[in-house]
Structure 1
Amino acid sequence: MTVVLAELTKLRSVASTAWSLLSAVCLIVGFGILYSTARASHPPAAGSTFDAVAVSLAGVQAAHLAVGVLGVLVVTNEYANGLIRTTLAAVPRRTPVLWGKAAVLGCVTFAVSLPAVLAAFLAGQSVLAAEHLDTSLTEPGVARAVVGGAGYLALVALLGLGLGTVVRHTAGGIAAVFGVLLGPQMLTGLLPTGLADDVYGWLPSPAGLAVTTVRPDSALLPPWAGAAVFSLYIAIAMCAGAWCLRRRDA
């Protein structure tokens, strides 16, 4: 508990925390409204599998880079200013430091993201209602998608934390986050169409974002399967970070 409280104090005392979270909130709500407006101005054809929930939550994908960067900064800032030596001297076992950072970062990111995702959903549905494309929060799968959007962002923050612990350098950690979230999707464009379609849903970002959908999408895994696959990616990143933290000198 002492480690968690210490990490919470450090997270609150860094200006980048507020700016990263504010950026994420603005992207979640702002991009969700803009994309909902664009889709409302071009209504889908009759019988299409239009997903009103995914449209209003499009800002979640825009915001994941902001929280990923926050995850990197949580650990690399300490390496940059030398505070990591004091931290590890106070907690010689080292890994509790990483788990404490993960607990604080994940909870704070989720707590900030959930109201923003809910606001994006409500605002987006009010825009889509003009074309009778909206849906209700009480419809099956909708609440899961809203909560899942906030959960996805919390996991992305942990991805940044894990990669930042491995790289230990801000620029390199941010590049690694961008590479993991965006790189594989770019590379699939080089694959044959059939193979690219089979691989796409298993990539980190599409797998995680599957939980924000309600209508079935042939390009994505089912919501809970996608969440499980994305969680596995996060576990790998965090375990790699823990291994590096234990093995390397501060």
Structure 2
Amino acid sequence: MTTITAIGTTPRHRISASGVLRSEWTKLWSLRSTWYSLASVAVLTLGLGLVIGATYEDSPELDDPVLVTLFGLQFGQMMVAVLGVLATAGEWSTGMARASFAAVPRRLPVLWAKAAVLGAAVFAVGLVTAFVTFPVAQQLLAGTQLEAALGDDGVVRGLFGAAAMLSLTALLGLGLGALLRSTPAAIGTFVGVVMILPQVARLIPYDWVDTAMKYTPLNATDALISASPAHGSPTPLGALITLLAWAGAVLAGAAVRLVRSDV
């Protein structure tokens, strides 16, 4: 049986969610910066965990086994934020954004797919890194106040919290890149608002400032990674909600701009 197609008609291309996800997954892993960034996070975290385990001496200020062991993730936080920025702002600098939105005219599925694949990839790498680094470092911390096991209270939650922190930080960077559409501007905003502002705000002698700064991404990070958050810090759930709120707000802003403005 022969199928006849009318002359002058254009076959419709059906856009599916799975197709957009596959496309964004391919684009993410085709970037060398993805491999370099995630490998650096894993190597740096494991390396610093081993150094800390080999040199640690009991200290009343460094008494949380998860937070201290995974200290390298605090540097990894900056790396995944930059990766998130590059995943979006980088497409505007190269012009690939126009091609992406020509293929997916509704635009928003592209943003959500980018967020899904980046968030999942960073969470997976962060979780594996945390569950490898912690027991390896604990081999060197036996007999110290940081000696702990996976079955101890708060340890597994802290390891999952570390992966969630990295994933949400990457999404915050992705949202900033999509909102500002400039790699330098997005990275500068992340460093200034997320990394520097909470440190500077500590110099302001007002209780409400101190309370507000507890719910910034930087301060929420320590509470989320800790087995036992310090007194006065947000609870792990409060810290998770804080990071979700920041990432969600920035992604929502990026979505609004994407819909209302030209590429």
Deviates more, 1:125-134 or 1:66-75: 125-134
Deviates more, 1:194-203 or 1:178-187: 194-203
AA aligned opposite 2:222: L
The RMSD of aligned alpha carbons is 1.9
Deviates more, 1:143-152 or 1:187-196: 187-196
Deviates more, 1:131-140 or 1:75-84: 131-140
Pairing 1:123–2:107 present: no
AA aligned opposite 1:21: L
| Residue aligning to 2:150 | 137
Residues 1-250 of structure 1: pairs in structure 2 closer than 5 A: 1-38=18-55, 40-41=56-57, 43-44=58-59, 50-131=63-144, 133-192=146-205, 194=207, 197-250=210-263
Deviates more, 1:14-23 or 1:64-73: 14-23
Deviates more, 1:169-178 or 1:151-160: 169-178
Give 1:208 shift.
3.3
CA distance in 1, matches of 2:137, 2:209: 31
CA distance in 2, matches of 1:99, 1:87: 13
TM-score (norm 1): 0.91
From the CA coordinates, give the structure whose radius of gyration is larger.
Answer: 2
CA distance in 2, matches of 1:199, 1:32: 31
**How many correspondences in the alignment?**
246
Give 1:238 shift.
0.6
Deviates more, 1:191-200 or 1:7-16: 191-200
Q: Deviations over 1:68-123 (max 9, x none)?
A: 00000001221111111010011111111100000000011111111111122112
CA 1:182–1:132: 2 relative to 1, 3 Å: closer
SS at match of 1:192: coil
AA aligned opposite 2:194: L
AA aligned opposite 1:11: L
CA 1:173–1:139: 2 relative to 1, 3 Å: same
CA distance in 2, matches of 1:90, 1:131: 57
AA aligned opposite 2:248: A
Gaps of 5+ in 2: 1-17
| Residue aligning to 2:3 | none
Q: Deviations over 1:176-219 (max 9, x none)?
A: 22123212222223211755543442121211331111224124
CA distance in 1, matches of 2:212, 2:51: 29
Q: Deviations over 1:6-45 (max 9, x none)?
A: 000101111111111112112222233333444x23x125
CA distance in 1, matches of 2:208, 2:51: 33
